[in-house]
Amino acid sequence: YFPDKASDRRIKELKVRCDNSENGCEWEQELAQLEQHLSKCGYAKVKCKNNCKQSVLRHNLINHLQNQCPMREYQCPKCKEEGKYQTITIDHLEVCLEQDITCPNPGCGVRYKR
């Protein structure tokens, strides 16, 4: 920080809050420890690793990747075809041969596979 060791020490001892306090982080320690904290702070916004273009808080990333990300790997519950969640649930289910559909004739109501 500063060439003057005494000033440098005093500055590093200043109490600071985490840059992510607006996201809920309550960390407050010496300036000297801030960089280390920021590298693992659970309240930092990080980009999704699946390239879904969403940013989530680091402590929510695993849940996002497993349960919320539209680009996560997903398997059709009917035919077991694999693909991205948004592709399977939006496009694929419209053409899945194992998907049950209802007879389009009025009053019929019979369900069968596509």
- The DSSP secondary-structure symbol of 96 reads -
What lies within 8 Å, CB to CB, of 45 at 6+ separation is 20, 23, 55, 56, 57, 58
Residue type, 55: S
- Cα-flanking dihedrals φ and ψ of residue 100, to 5°? -75, 135
Does position 39 have pLDDT exceeding 70, yes or no? yes
pLDDT single digits (tens) 72-94: 999 999 999 999 999 999 999 88
Q: pLDDT value at position 70? A: 97
